[in-house]
């Protein structure tokens, strides 16, 4: 599907990945571009570049579980494609499990329901590699069992099933993308931050960086702009639509290597502290990306060390 001229809406678009997706969508020359975010965690400043590049960008500070409000936006903006990225992040689900799980599920339900009612045509729903839990085999392709370990992961898995049920029952034109771990500029470094912003913050503040567990747990890290590009390709490519696609680098990286890379980018050669495992942490993650390579010619561009340098440079300038 040609995205040029279409009306596109990004939920969670003031967040980390959503704001990069918004930047990337501008290159497709949409007819209309809309971001909906309640700024629970996102920041309007994440959209500064997007507003500069596309002055017609519309921003609604709205909770997407508010069905009427979202319906009115979809109707007023005559939206064709919804990119659904709004979420409550994993760390919040360790502190407020019931609220987080309910919110994640309800957000997906609202978006699906409005799709069923015809308020937009096509959905790209953002899932997470967390739904797979710890790898029972690698590389983890899209058929890997869903073995969620945290309330966040379980709710994201439930949301995926919900999207699939709306596809099968009501013919909703929906595709599920499963990014693995993302990093890059604009990743939230305040409440519920992930390891990369936390390590950068600690080193900059003269504190020793902390690794939970032995650091030999692995993740598949992608630079955020590569993943945003994958989401655009999914929407643009008819062959990819309707299924589930992993978006990742296909490279397994230990947390030790990650933290050493960050330390190098920050010229830090001090000690690293080890703390007990975080509850629910997965041990091993390596994505199978053959499907994305085949269907959307997905070729992530950014090497880890280059991406970490760009990420650190962004935090240093902020
Ligand atoms: N960051 C990663 O490494 C990663 C990995 C895999 C999957 N994902 C998925 O990618 C998507 C984006 O994640 P992110 O890292 O950019 O998260 P983020 O927290 O930076 O962005 C999520 C945004 O959703 C907004 N939001 C939360 N509740 C809302 C609500 N009720 N109504 C409207 N907006 C609401 C927040 O304010 C925030 O701006 C999510 O679906 C997430 O599950 C992220």
Structural contact between residues 297 and 233, judged by C-beta atoms closer than 8 angstroms: yes
Tell me if 134 is assigned to some domain.
yes
Let me know if residue 235 belongs to a domain.
yes
Active-site residue list: 152
pLDDT for 226 equals 98
Range of the domain at 120: 7-186+223-250
Query: Residue 181 CA: which ligand 1 atom is closest?
Result: 3
Return d(Cα 24, Cα 225) in angstroms, integer. 8
pLDDT at 191: 82
Taken in order 35, 41, 47, 49, the sign of the CA dihedral is: negative
- pLDDT band of residue 276 (cuts 50, 70, 90) is very high
Q: What is the pTM of this model?
A: 0.97
pLDDT given for residue 190 in this prediction: 85
Number of domains in the chain: 1
Q: Is 55 within the bounds of a domain?
A: yes
| d(CA 272, ligand 1 centre) in Å | 29
Q: Which of 69, 86, 255, 282 to mutate to test the pocket of ligand 1 (most atoms within 8 A of CB)?
A: 86
The answer as to whether 307 is a domain residue is no
The whole-number pLDDT of residue 235 equals 97
Instruction: Give residues with Cβ within 8 angstroms of 56, minimum separation 6.
Output: 32, 33
pLDDT of residue 282: 87
In a domain, 246, yes or no: yes
In this predicted structure, the answer to whether residue 189 has a pLDDT above a threshold of 90 is no
CATH code at position 168: 3.40.50.720
Atom of ligand 1 nearest to the CA of 152: 43
Within a domain: residue 135? yes
pLDDT of residue 279: 83
50-88 residue pLDDT tens: 999 999 999 999 999 999 999 999 999 999 999 999 999
Q: Distance, CA 8 to ligand 1 centroid (Å)? A: 17
Residues in contact with ligand 1 (CB, 6 Å cut-off) = 11-12, 14-18, 36-42, 63-65, 85-89, 107, 126, 128-129, 156, 179, 181-182, 188
Is the pLDDT at 292 greater than 90? The verdict is yes
Q: Over range 196-216, report the average pLDDT.
A: 96
- Residue 85 Cα to ligand 1 midpoint, Å, equals 5
- Rounded average pLDDT over 257-264: 95
What pLDDT does 19 receive?
Answer: 98
In 3-state terms, what secondary structure has residue 75?
Answer: helix
| Residue at 150 is within a domain | yes
Domain membership of residue 107 (yes or no) is yes
DSSP letter at 47?
Answer: G
Residue nearest to atom 11 of ligand 1 (CA): 85
Q: How far apart are CA 127 and CA 86, in angstroms?
A: 10
């Amino acid at each position: 599907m040609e995205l040029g001229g279409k009306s596109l809406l990004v939920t969670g678009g003031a967040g980390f990945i959503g704001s990069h997706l918004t930047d990337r969508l501008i290159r497709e020359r949409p007819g209309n571009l809309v971001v909906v975010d309640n700024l629970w965690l996102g920041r309007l400043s994440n959209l500064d570049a997007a507003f500069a590049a596309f002055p017609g960008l519309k921003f609604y500070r709205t909770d997407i579980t508010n069905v009427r409000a979202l319906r009115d936006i979809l109707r007023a903006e005559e939206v064709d494609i919804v990119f659904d990225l709004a979420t409550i992040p994993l760390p919040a689900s360790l502190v407020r499990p019931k609220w987080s799980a309910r919110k994640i599920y309800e957000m997906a339900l609202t978006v699906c329901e409005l799709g069923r009612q015809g308020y937009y045509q096509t959905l790209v729903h953002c899932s997470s590699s967390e739904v797979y839990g710890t790898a029972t085999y690698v590389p983890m392709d899209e058929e890997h069992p869903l073995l969620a370990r945290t309330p966040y992961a379980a709710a994201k898995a439930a949301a995926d099933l919900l999207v699939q049920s709306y596809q099968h029952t009501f013919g909703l034109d929906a595709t599920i993308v499963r990014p693995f771990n993302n990093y890059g500029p604009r990743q939230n470094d305040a409440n519920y931050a992930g390891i990369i912003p936390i390590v950068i913050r600690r080193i900059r503040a003269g504190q020793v960086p902390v690794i939970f567990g032995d650091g030999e747990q692995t993740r598949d890290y992608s630079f955020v702009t590569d993943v945003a590009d994958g989401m655009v390709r999914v929407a643009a490519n008819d062959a990819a639509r309707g299924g589930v696609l992993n978006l990742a680098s296909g490279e397994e990286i230990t947390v030790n290597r990650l933290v050493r890379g960050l330390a190098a980018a920050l010229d830090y050669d001090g000690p690293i502290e080890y703390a007990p495992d975080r509850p629910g942490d997965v041990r091993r993650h390596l994505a199978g990306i053959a499907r994305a390579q085949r269907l959307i010619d997905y070729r992530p561009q950014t090497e880890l060390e280059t991406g970490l340098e760009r990420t650190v440079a962004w935090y240093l300038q902020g």
